[in-house]
Structure 1
Amino acid sequence: MTASTFERALPLIRKHEDGYVDDPANPGGATNLGVTIGTLSLWLGRPATKAEVRALTVATVAPIYRRNYWDAVRADELPPGLAYALFDFAVNSGNKRAVIGLQRALGIADDGALGPITLAAVAKHKPADLIDALCDGRLAFLRQLSIWARFGKGWSRRVEEVRKAALAMAAEPAPAAPAKCPACGKLLAA
């Protein structure tokens, strides 16, 4: 998949992760644009302050999302809709939990590491089927959390919105491969 999939997915994530919050019921603590104080501290290599979290901008969080979540779940190697659904799950619940969800949807060992076995299993399934199974499993996981009563309504809405957008991406035709010269194999200009 291309970087354009990430560029399409990021604004969709931001619909659910926009603005500063510091809700005592949220285990992530101070959060802005979906980046928690803990995540920012790891990114900076030192303890971050709430003021630094509050000062985050879209431009400063995009590289964090790219490296810490998108790249960590190898989303560029997944079909676009599935990549987005897994990316959103990782942002909301952590990379390992998201990959475990994907592995359970695939019916393979769930070690939380997205490697060649998981990628091979993904290739054997229809993306839409995996998106549905991943979202169903995600909701089941979220319902088990002690903070479901506080955040469940929003999480349910988010997962259904992710499912809808991910299925729409999965239904889009794949981009045409660039044409090559039959004689020399070089790419032809459009």
Structure 2
Amino acid sequence: MAATPSNVASLPRTASAPDSPEERFDRCLAVVLQQEGGFVNDPQDPGGATNMGITRDVLSAFRDRAVTVDEVRDLSRAEAREIYRARYWTPMRCAELPPGVDLGVFDFGVNAGPSRAVKLLQKAVGVMADGSIGPITLAAARALEAERLIASFSEARLAYYRSLDGFARFGRGWANRTEAVRMAALRMAGTPSRAAA
């Protein structure tokens, strides 16, 4: 089920204590999995056979061998979680980003690739966009107000999608996903969710 403004608001949030790194990962992963859904094999999607957002190529690389479409279909949630942590969350250093910003970067990295997500973050925070998160990028992200960074990152993400040839076919879904993730990110950051301007 795709996240919508009505069900994103129901995602749990701990007001009394900050989430642990593991809780933050699980909260962000829940949003990503809502967006990704289950098994699909759209011939017009360059990702091909995909389950929970994990493509056949990604699963093959993770298992270090070629996999079949049936193996993609049978992917367990536990293995998908391991893949998301190993290939996206950890390399993009999402646990070190402010709450909410972590979700935006994580989700876009899943959808468009980690390097592209990191470069978009780097442009949004005003540092050199080299696709590698280090102390300068992290410090710049932490120095900005989360609500503004989430907004600028979401706007840049949507602009990227609009530049793609596939926007006519997939654009509405990409725009809806961007908005749902923006709203969930604002909630995680502890700021009110407002409709896009």
For the aligned pair, the TM-score class normalised by the smaller chain equals 0.7 to 0.9
Q: Does 1:146 align with 2:165?
A: yes
What letter corresponds to residue 12 of structure 1 in structure 2?
Answer: V
Of 45, 51, 73, the residue aligned with 2:92 is: 73
1:61-140 counterparts in 2 under 5 A? 61-140=80-159
Match of 1:164 in 2: 183
Structure 2 stretches lacking a partner, 5+ long = 1-19, 192-197
Equivalent pair of 1:22/1:31 in contact (CA under 8 Å) = yes
C-alpha displacement of 1:10? 1.0
Q: TM-score, normalization: structure 2? A: 0.85
C-alpha displacement of 1:123? 2.1
Deviations 1:82-120 (A, max 9, x none): 001110000100000000110111121111111111012
1:21-60 counterparts in 2 under 5 A? 21-60=40-79
Deviations 1:26-83 (A, max 9, x none): 1111101100001001101111111110101212201001111111110110111000
Higher relative contact order (CA 8 A, sep 6+): 2
C-alpha displacement of 1:25? 1.3
What letter corresponds to residue 16 of structure 1 in structure 2?
Answer: Q
Structure 1 stretches lacking a partner, 5+ long = 173-190
Paired residue secondary structure (2:100)? helix
Paired residue secondary structure (1:21)? coil
Equivalent pair of 1:33/1:57 in contact (CA under 8 Å) = no
1 CA distance for matches of 2:45 and 2:130? 26
Deviations 1:117-147 (A, max 9, x none): 1012112211111111111100000111111
C-alpha displacement of 1:3? 1.3
Aligned length: 172
What letter corresponds to residue 96 of structure 1 in structure 2?
Answer: S
2 CA distance for matches of 1:27 and 1:36? 10
What letter corresponds to residue 87 of structure 1 in structure 2?
Answer: F
2 CA distance for matches of 1:23 and 1:144? 21
Paired residue secondary structure (2:144)? coil
2 CA distance for matches of 1:156 and 1:48? 31
What letter corresponds to residue 23 of structure 1 in structure 2?
Answer: D
Identity over aligned pairs, percent: 47
